[in-house]
Structure 1
Amino acid sequence: MAFSNQSSPSSNRNHHFDELRWVIQIRRYLEDSNNDEHGIPVTIFSVPRSLRVSKPEAYVPQLIALGPYHHWQPELYEMERYKLSAAKRAQNQLPDLKFQHLVEHFTKFEHIIRAHYHRYLDFNGETLAWLMIVDTSFLLEFLQIYACEEGKALKRVPSRMSHLVDNAGRKSAHNVILRDIMMLENQLPLFLLRLNLEFQLSSIQEADGVLTVMLNGFMKALCPFKMMESFPCIDVTKHAHLLELLYSILVPKPLEQPCEVIDINEDQTDAVESNEKSSKDHSSHIKHFFSASWSAASGLNGSAIRYIKQVLLSRPIKFLVKVPWKIITNLPGFSVLRKPVEHLFFSETSDKSKLEDSNINKPPLIEEIMIPSVTELINAGISFSATKGNMTTIQFDVKTVTFYLPTVSLDINTEVILRNLVAYEASVASGPLVLTRYTELMNGIIDTDEDVKLLRERGIILNRMKSDDEVAKLWNSMSRSVRLTRVPFLDKVIEDVNRYHNSRWRVKTTKFMKKYVFGSWQFLTFLAAILLLLLTSLQAFCSVYSCARWFNPTIIGE
């Protein structure tokens, strides 16, 4: 039982604070020996404000309230008669017991019910028990739609609810209820569903069996990774609520590893050694560049080419090769060329050095989350392939240059479900936010409807929405996160893809042209000055000597 100053919809109904009632509740709670919450984790949270502000309607139920958080909202109270009808039908199925016996049984678990909720529940024990019985009765009746064996439904939809729900989920009200059921603030503890079913059936074992069949069908219909080869077995005794159950399917336990963020301040000695190593690497690349230039020129013929060979073999050029790159860039006029040349020839080595020096446990920067779009990656030679699994199948094969992603099915319910899963992960996870990182990855590679089309053609996206543009908007709107953490296997994929993409000469040249040619007036001015100097020198040279003797006579003859 958690006490909080945070206001809730249930407490807002009281216009005046009742001090005597508050003291009675506190005394009762402290004196009750059954209120031992040790070992009962909080599982139902309020959505963090940083997530709620981006799209509030994705976290607040639109049609039906389940549980205490939104129970007293007037706009949701019209569904109360449908919940009462479900409770009435549940009462008729009780063999020899009255509904009051079920209320008394629920009241015994009051302290466990309260322990599951993050907010303080301003209800007395009996009110809370009645609320939970009515809501669990409705939820069980809704879940029975998904209880199938050999493709046949085990129970028909009650006639009173037939206009709201259907097995195929084609009705709009059905989808609204489905989205409301999967909202974080609308969750019901799963053990209450077991208690309700136990009273309707002969034993708790039979209740667990029926509930397992319901949840199996429900999760298979709801899971966005539709092509999973082996759907995990569901143990209803080990899960807190429906949203947590779906999260455990999408993010298996081995991935939920604690991530310790360690900031390491490198000393000056390491920095000097790193700079010396970088300088040596640059010098070796200068030698390699001139060596490649000589190899390319050695196969050419003509008097002009022989003249170029003589220039390359001259003492000034030999001296220039031996001079360290750091000294060359400090010469007058060459300082402007330093960044462009390093960007064009040394960027791969520099990036690799930075990756090796960086600490893997540090939280990622915004720049590290960025990844080229699907269109850009395909243009760089990377191919995409769909996998039949969950997020553990995401990988980048450097040998085949293939980016593997699981097949994800998207419909009108997906965004709300994913947003609430991210909110749950942010509230409960002490380690890396795996699902959040996955949504950031998809947001990074999908920019336009063309990116969605390319993934759809490769079987990675199953689009059940109106258009590819809606899918692009879905992923692009899910960019907000409560915190940044590293997810080792996903971060490695992102780094490998970025490294391969940035190492392509086409990408290097494009970036070079944009940054240093079209976007740098200093570089353009320097090139213009060099060109003007060369033309002036050539004009002066030709005015004194005959230039024709330097060129191939056959060319002049033509």
Structure 2
Amino acid sequence: MASQSIFNSESDEDQWVIQINEMVSKTHNSILKKIPISIFHVPKSLSSVKPEAFTPQLVAIGPYTHFRPELYPMERFKIFAAKAVLDHFNKHDLKQVVQEFHDTATFIRASYHKYVDLKDETLLYTMAIDVLFLLNVYHNYLDKKISGSFMVGLEDPVQLSGVKLTRNATIRDILMVENQIPNYSLLKILLFESSEPPHLVKEYLGSMLLSFCHQHAPLKCPITITCSEAVSKHHHVLDLMYHLVVSHAVNTETPIPDQGEGTSAVQKSSNSEAVPISFKKVKGVLTWTVDSLKKLKDVNIPLVEPVKRHLDPVLQLSSQLDDLSPRPNLSEEEEEVEETRMVVRIPCVSELLSVGVFFQPVEGGNMAIEFDEKRGIFFLPVLKLDVNSEVIMRNLVAYEALTQPDFLIFTRYTELMTGIVDSVEDVKLLREAGIIDSSSTLNVEEIAELFDGICKSIAPTKTHKLDETINKVNKYYDYKRKIDILKVSTDYVYRSWKFFTLLATFVLLVMTAIETFCAAYDCHRYFIPHH
């Protein structure tokens, strides 16, 4: 059986030799240093959970996907959309645009992580068509206050015989990792076609990209990037959206709610300090009594039968006594094993609310997530979800894993949301708190399902600030839950103190009597055998 090869003919081999020589040339090496790799092929380790979230379903954009047979039927619509842009500027035809791109093939190849197995001319034609198509899509997002009359009058993405490119499917495909187009390619063609000054063209393109990201980003976050920076400092639209979502600008002041909203954990702690101390005084007696009653249940003597019928309610205290015991301190290695066992160990929304945790929206993206222990307030960014959100979030997670492997803050955020959203009820509570935008077009069932398994393909990663916040929430929850159990148990004990005293005395007398009886007689047959 003949081995597979990337070559179909001798001309392919000759082209390969030319490309190899270019790649090792000094010129190419200097280009590689200036143009970092920014467009990646998604490995199966990231895409295997839900491959369709990373595979274009309608439109192929860029050399990785351009010639996939299942996507090629849409090529004619892309060409019509590209022609609409050329007709709008009415300056150059497609050949002239490709010629303008002629010296940039090496730059374009340098942006892609995977080897682009296309001849230069083919690569440039695909790039020109895709850039013009994207400009047709993006022009609908222009801020009219900034753009004035720029690109006004350009038709919406092409309609032919009643068929229109599906809007949502197009948006999802544009934001997939493998479908990215370098921003400098968009700028180059726009500068070539437009008569506007270069600095204004950059502003217009940046306005389009920022508006597009702002409208479709899953998190509401303030836009602190200028239009010019959106083009010059970010590789492509997915990279821009990632840096808008993962904002590094943390608010120095968190909004202060009404004083009635949250109660100080410190004050509650001081008010309830007496509870554990008082409970310790009776816990020993209770433990001994419960253990004795358990033994008494195993005794098969007629005298004790009436008492045994009423033991079950009392024995239920034993489970609560176990819950009150402090958790053993884990070693660092044991904690690490525990961390890898569960991606994020955190109670769900309804459980947190049951111990007095309040949720409040905060601006600033993932980096602004915080938990106020004194007031019991969990600050989370606002989620704006629609039919495109799952695909966009999965691709942001994948892009982060490919470009920021040591700082998976967005991944950790999605893990956090997966941890606190266990049910439809949790989604409803987050909506009421304003964490999930009420204008989200998904219903509560769809939102609950969205978070299920969104990060199962990513290994748990330590992100110090967010992990510290998660730990604060867990400690607060454990403390509050323990205090609630202590109060209930202590109240129950104090209300029933006389009964427990009598019961303990009775049990002691019965056990003494049984011991005396068994010392004189063989009473083995009176006890239920253990199996």
TM exceeding 0.5: yes
The unaligned stretches of length 5 or more in structure 1 are 1-6, 256-284, 298-307, 309-337, 514-529, 544-558
Change (3 A) 1:118 1:535: farther
- Which stretch of the first structure deviates more once superposed, 109-118 or 11-20? 11-20
The residue number in structure 2 matching 1:495 is 471
The residue number in structure 2 matching 1:146 is 141
Is the contact made by 1:164 and 1:173 (CA closer than 8 Å) also made in structure 2? Answer: no
Q: Which residues in structure 2 correspond to 1:26-175 (within 5 Å)?
A: 26-31=20-25, 33-34=27-28, 36=30, 37-93=32-88, 97-149=92-144, 155-156=152-153, 158=155, 161-162=158-159, 173-175=166-168
1:186 to 164, 175, 179: 179
The residue number in structure 2 matching 1:327 is none
- Structure-1 separation of matches of 2:453 and 2:481: 33
The residue number in structure 2 matching 1:438 is 413
Change (3 A) 1:542 1:229: farther
The residue number in structure 1 matching 2:510 is 536
Q: Residue by residue, what CA displacement relative to the aligned partner does 1:498-556 show, whole Å, maximum 9, x if unpaired?
A: 1111123458859xx9xxxxxxxxxxxxxxxx99974632656999xxxxxxxxxxxxx
The alignment partner of 2:478 has SS state of helix
Q: Residue by residue, what CA displacement relative to the aligned partner does 1:80-135 show, whole Å, maximum 9, x if unpaired?
A: 11221233233335565554333222121111111110110111212111111110
Is the contact made by 1:165 and 1:173 (CA closer than 8 Å) also made in structure 2? Answer: no
Change (3 A) 1:182 1:368: closer
Is the contact made by 2:84 and 2:154 (CA closer than 8 Å) also made in structure 1? Answer: no
The residue number in structure 2 matching 1:344 is 324
Is the contact made by 2:190 and 2:201 (CA closer than 8 Å) also made in structure 1? Answer: yes
Letter in 1 for 2:104: F
- Structure-2 separation of matches of 1:500 and 1:383: 12
Q: Which residues in structure 2 correspond to 1:114-513 (within 5 Å)?
A: 114-149=109-144, 155-156=152-153, 158=155, 161-162=158-159, 173-202=166-195, 203-226=197-220, 228-229=221-222, 231-234=224-227, 235=229, 236-253=231-248, 292-293=280-281, 344-347=324-327, 350-351=328-329, 354=330, 364-367=339-342, 369-462=344-437, 464-505=440-481
- Structure-2 separation of matches of 1:531 and 1:43: 77
The alignment partner of 2:387 has SS state of coil
Is the contact made by 1:437 and 1:487 (CA closer than 8 Å) also made in structure 2? Answer: yes
TM-score (norm 2): 0.72
Q: Residue by residue, what CA displacement relative to the aligned partner does 1:174-228 show, whole Å, maximum 9, x if unpaired?
A: 00000000000000000000001001113422320210221232122112223x4
- Structure-2 separation of matches of 1:409 and 1:165: 31
Is the contact made by 1:45 and 1:185 (CA closer than 8 Å) also made in structure 2? Answer: yes
Per-residue deviation, 1:343: 5.6
Q: Residue by residue, what CA displacement relative to the aligned partner does 1:251-290 show, whole Å, maximum 9, x if unpaired?
A: 13479xxxxxxxxxxxxxxxxxxxxxxxxxxxxx9xx858
The residue number in structure 2 matching 1:25 is 19
Is the contact made by 1:371 and 1:498 (CA closer than 8 Å) also made in structure 2? Answer: yes
Is the contact made by 1:94 and 1:199 (CA closer than 8 Å) also made in structure 2? Answer: no
- Which stretch of the first structure deviates more once superposed, 18-27 or 42-51? 18-27
Change (3 A) 1:224 1:164: farther
Is the contact made by 2:15 and 2:119 (CA closer than 8 Å) also made in structure 1? Answer: no
Q: Residue by residue, what CA displacement relative to the aligned partner does 1:435-460 show, whole Å, maximum 9, x if unpaired?
A: 00000000000011010011011111
TM-score (norm 1): 0.69
Is the contact made by 1:140 and 1:193 (CA closer than 8 Å) also made in structure 2? Answer: yes
Q: Residue by residue, what CA displacement relative to the aligned partner does 1:345-381 show, whole Å, maximum 9, x if unpaired?
A: 332xx45xx59x6899999433472111111111122
Is the contact made by 2:94 and 2:128 (CA closer than 8 Å) also made in structure 1? Answer: no
Per-residue deviation, 1:392: 2.3
- Which stretch of the first structure deviates more once superposed, 136-145 or 228-237? 228-237
Per-residue deviation, 1:461: 0.6
Letter in 1 for 2:428: K
Number of residues paired by the alignment?
Answer: 437
Change (3 A) 1:85 1:534: same
Letter in 2 for 1:453: K
- Structure-2 separation of matches of 1:363 and 1:125: 52
The alignment partner of 2:101 has SS state of helix
The alignment partner of 2:398 has SS state of helix
- Which stretch of the first structure deviates more once superposed, 15-24 or 114-123? 15-24
Is the contact made by 2:223 and 2:244 (CA closer than 8 Å) also made in structure 1? Answer: no
Change (3 A) 1:454 1:429: same
Letter in 1 for 2:245: L
Letter in 2 for 1:470: E
The alignment partner of 1:396 has SS state of strand
Letter in 1 for 2:437: L
Q: Structure 1 vs Structure 2: percent identity of aligned residues? A: 35
The alignment partner of 1:473 has SS state of helix
The alignment partner of 1:384 has SS state of strand
The alignment partner of 1:92 has SS state of helix
The alignment partner of 1:461 has SS state of coil
Is the contact made by 2:249 and 2:364 (CA closer than 8 Å) also made in structure 1? Answer: no
Change (3 A) 1:438 1:112: same
Letter in 2 for 1:373: C
- Structure-2 separation of matches of 1:403 and 1:146: 34
Per-residue deviation, 1:58: 0.5
Change (3 A) 1:100 1:541: closer
The alignment partner of 2:379 has SS state of strand
Letter in 2 for 1:22: W
Quote the RMSD (CA, aligned, Å): 4.1
Is the contact made by 2:218 and 2:385 (CA closer than 8 Å) also made in structure 1? Answer: yes
The unaligned stretches of length 5 or more in structure 2 are 251-272, 290-317, 490-503, 518-531
Letter in 1 for 2:511: S
Is the contact made by 2:343 and 2:460 (CA closer than 8 Å) also made in structure 1? Answer: no
